[in-house]
Chains A and B, each alone.
Chain A
Amino acid sequence: MWRHLAASIQGAAHVRNGVPCQDSSVVTDLAADAGLLLACADGAGSATCADVGAATACRALVDAVGRFTDAGGRIDTLTQDVAATWLDDIRAAIQAQADAASLTPRDFACTLVAALVGDTSSAFLQIGDGAIVTASPTAAEVVFWPEQGEYANTTYFVTGADAHKRLRLDVRPTPVHDVALFTDGLQHIALRYETRAPHQPFFDPMFARLRADDAWPGLGGALASFLRSDAISTRTDDDCTLVLACRCEG
């Protein structure tokens, strides 16, 4: 039994410049109680249709994973090749959007961070920045340390020519206790760069609340207002997306 929450907020810089929130996120059940699919995508600030790109990437991932599980695929049978076909599907969906508008996929550039979490196994995939944090009562870790692109403030995108090379996948034969996905707006607040570890005081209260509150499906608003609070907004002016999930007994 999983509990989950997700929220995206528009960064102050985007409000100022009249740019929409370019983050997107999704949480959906995998078929037949096989667990959850969580994903978030961060549209490139330099791309004109980055928000559409991020939404398309999330949607296409849900479709691709749906086809995989419908065909009997399970988390523990996931391979790099399968993930590569998902990426192909996402790129095809973005290409279709670009073709319809006579633009190039570059105009829809976005990163992608996703997790498939089941009762016995889990899988994580990522292209570009943002991060996935897994936590248990005893330990917390960052699955892939955020990757920086060629220049400062650049990263890799699902639309990039080297996307397949940049696709990182980690399939684990163990379930996770708590998992959080977030986009790079939160990176410097949620991660400790000196120890390359999650900043646990940031996550612990949120997971505790999610576990304790039986009215959890209604907590989305509280999460969004937390992301809008001074604690966050004074430290980043980028869009922020946070996706949380925890496994509860029974």
Chain B
Amino acid sequence: MAVVFVDDTGKRLTLGAELGRGGEGIVFDLPGTALAAKIYHRPADAAKAAKLEAMVRLQAPGLSAFSAWPERRILDAAGPHTWGIVLPKVVEHHAIHELYSPADRKIEFPFADWTFLVHVARNCAAAVEAIHQAGHVVGDINQGGVFVSKKGTITLIDCDSYQIADGARLFTCDVGVPHFTAPELQGQPFRGLQRTTQHDAFGLAVMVFHLLFMGRHPFAGRYAGAGDMSVERAIREGRFAYGSASHRLQMTPPPHALRLSQVPSEIAELFERAFRLPGRGTERPTATDWLLALERLKPSTVACARRRGHKFAAGSATAECPWCQIEQDGGPDLFMSAHVLVHVGTAAPGAAFDLALFWRDVEAVPPPMPTQPRAECGMPRLPPRVPDDEMAWGWATVTIAVSAALVGAVSLIMTTTLGTFTFQMFSAILMSAWFVMRVKSPYAELRASVCLEFSAASTAVDQASIEWRIRSAAVAQAFVDKREEIRALSFDYEKRLHAFRKEESDLAASGRPPGERTALTRWRSSAQASMEQHLVARLDELRQLQASSDHVAIGAEQRLRSALERQHEAGSAVAGLPFPKWAA
């Protein structure tokens, strides 16, 4: 690149590896520093350059604690252009949707339970509050602009798009994401639009909702009215799918979603206020309101008695574990990965048999995926068609020729032996008809049997194909059940171990004879050993199930292949029939 980049202080910048790329510019590493350089595709125009200058000047510890706030400008050493900004590198962070989407969470944040999600929601509110306190507005709150660390801390990125107040001068935020945009701004062009903290309050509430409600959008639900209900339209019309007025608004939450009644009423009311249409002195809860409410919510969460990874609000209207309820209604276990951590984290330290290591082994057995036949497209397996005019004519010719010969022969015999012409003709016609019927029927039977074989072969193909998935799904299910069994056994093991230790210390304190203590210890270790053997045996079974899934798939594939072969042969037989359809 011909441009030599320098920062505000005139220091020359050496760009390292590319870290990311967006519509606006490219982010490069600044090697040897905790900083990165965002270089725009084109030099900033006058307004943007002024905005960046103001942002660099206005940087404050309160802002940098929560955001990748620009620290310096990047200028062209030779010219007047502003080319970009130097900002803190955001490392070991994930985009927030990787936390709130249950599928991604299992991979990126396997240990996160609902308490953690509340904690992160609280931190989001704190980050937005910091921006507001400095007089600025985020403007474009969205799932790509909020990054979260494994510890749950928040870093807001793309700060150069924010609405910045520099004394009397206001630099607007010219972008936005419709799903996070307040109803009064829906459909409006963002360029030059003056945003307020009330607009951010909507985006923040949508973000908090995503975090607490498993990545669901508050305005995405089932709409009972006519026409398509897009999320944008639902926002514009104030159709909050979870709210107390949702019935009147003809909205119902999607199946297997957390309900508003399952969070404390304080949080529920904040959502109601945030998602109501604006008007008549109603204000959306501010970032501070959210911060305080979420801070109160966090310590009030409790663990489910059945599944320890399930955390929920104790103060909600329903005391039952909502995650267990979702599971019972046929939904997924939304915190599957969190239970395992609970086990590993509480493993007995120092024991010869380490439950944590054991669970690592359990986790290392990959669950068999239900497989399906990978045959080529499922074209309807119709028998190949036979109609062929030449063949039809061929058959007709044969029929006529044979009939004619027969009529001739019979007439000749009858004329010489009997002599009555009418009777002769009548008999001849009857006989030739009988002959045609006789000749035809074996063909018809052949055709029927060939077609029957084809349809039987097709049924066999379908059956083999269905059987494949049923068997492989059964193995996958058996695997899941086995793991559940191991989990329950582990629970039991931990509980018993704890009880043993307590007994032992009680005994030691009671000063009973050492003989009694030895006996207990001996009994205890044999009981413990048998439980451990039991656990290890189950792990072997789990591995066997894993291995058997391959055999099932191979066997199923062989059966399907032979069924397809049989069908192919039957198809060739149909195609090879020397007989047109009409004749049968």
Residues of A within 8 A of B (CB): 8-10, 18-26, 28-29, 43, 48-49, 51-52, 54-56, 58-59, 62, 97, 100-101, 103, 148, 150-152, 239
Main secondary structure of the interface of A (DSSP, over half): mixed
Residues of B contacting A49 in the complex (Cβ-Cβ under 8 angstroms): 465-466, 469
Does B470 contact A18, Cβ atoms closer than 8 Å? no
Q: B473 in the interface, Cβ–Cβ < 8 Å? A: yes
Kindly identify which residue among B220, B380, B387, B465 contacts A62, using a CB–CB cutoff of 8 Å: B380
Instruction: Closest B residue to A19 by CB, please name it.
Output: B372
Q: B1 in the interface, Cβ–Cβ < 8 Å? A: no
Instruction: Closest B residue to A100 by CB, please name it.
Output: B463
Is the interface on chain B under 10, 10 to 19, 20 to 34, or 35 or more residues?
20 to 34
Does B378 contact A51, Cβ atoms closer than 8 Å? yes
Q: What is the minimal beta-carbon distance from A102 to any residue of chain B, in angstroms?
A: 8
The A/B interface has a contact count, at CB < 8 Å, of 84
Residues of B within 8 A of A (CB): 220, 222, 228, 254, 369, 371-382, 385, 387, 458-459, 462-463, 465-467, 469-470, 473
Kindly identify which residue among B373, B375, B462 contacts A97, using a CB–CB cutoff of 8 Å: B462
A27 to B109, CA, bound (A): 50
7 contacts between A and B (CB under 8 A): A23-B377, A26-B382, A52-B466, A62-B382, A97-B462, A101-B467, A239-B377
Known: A51-B465, A151-B222. A24 touches B380 (CB 8 A): yes
Residues of B contacting A56 in the complex (Cβ-Cβ under 8 angstroms): 380, 462
A22 to B387, CA, bound (A): 29
Does B380 contact A101, Cβ atoms closer than 8 Å? no
Known: A9-B377, A24-B379. A103 touches B371 (CB 8 A): no
Q: What is the minimal beta-carbon distance from B456 to any residue of chain A, in angstroms?
A: 13
A62 to B377, CA, bound (A): 18
Does A148 contact B228, Cβ atoms closer than 8 Å? yes
Residues of B contacting A54 in the complex (Cβ-Cβ under 8 angstroms): 378, 380
Does B381 contact A55, Cβ atoms closer than 8 Å? yes
Residues of B contacting A22 in the complex (Cβ-Cβ under 8 angstroms): 378
Nearest 7 pairs of A and B residues by beta carbon: A58-B380, A51-B378, A8-B377, A21-B377, A59-B380, A101-B466, A55-B378
A66 to B378, CA, bound (A): 21
Known: A18-B372, A28-B385, A151-B254. A43 touches B228 (CB 8 A): no
Residues of A contacting B373 in the complex (Cβ-Cβ under 8 angstroms): 20, 51
Does A48 contact B469, Cβ atoms closer than 8 Å? yes
A58 to B462, CA, bound (A): 14
A25 to B387, CA, bound (A): 21
Residues of B contacting A18 in the complex (Cβ-Cβ under 8 angstroms): 369, 371-372, 374
Does B466 contact A103, Cβ atoms closer than 8 Å? yes
Residues of A contacting B375 in the complex (Cβ-Cβ under 8 angstroms): 20
Q: What is the minimal beta-carbon distance from B220 to any residue of chain A, in angstroms?
A: 8
Q: What is the minimal beta-carbon distance from B21 to any residue of chain A, in angstroms?
A: 19
Does A52 contact B462, Cβ atoms closer than 8 Å? yes
A121 to B123, CA, bound (A): 66
Does B378 contact A24, Cβ atoms closer than 8 Å? yes
Residues of A contacting B378 in the complex (Cβ-Cβ under 8 angstroms): 8, 20-24, 43, 51-52, 54-55
Q: What is the minimal beta-carbon distance from B164 to any residue of chain A, in angstroms?
A: 37
Does B371 contact A101, Cβ atoms closer than 8 Å? no
A28 to B380, CA, bound (A): 11
Known: A52-B466, A151-B254. A24 touches B382 (CB 8 A): no
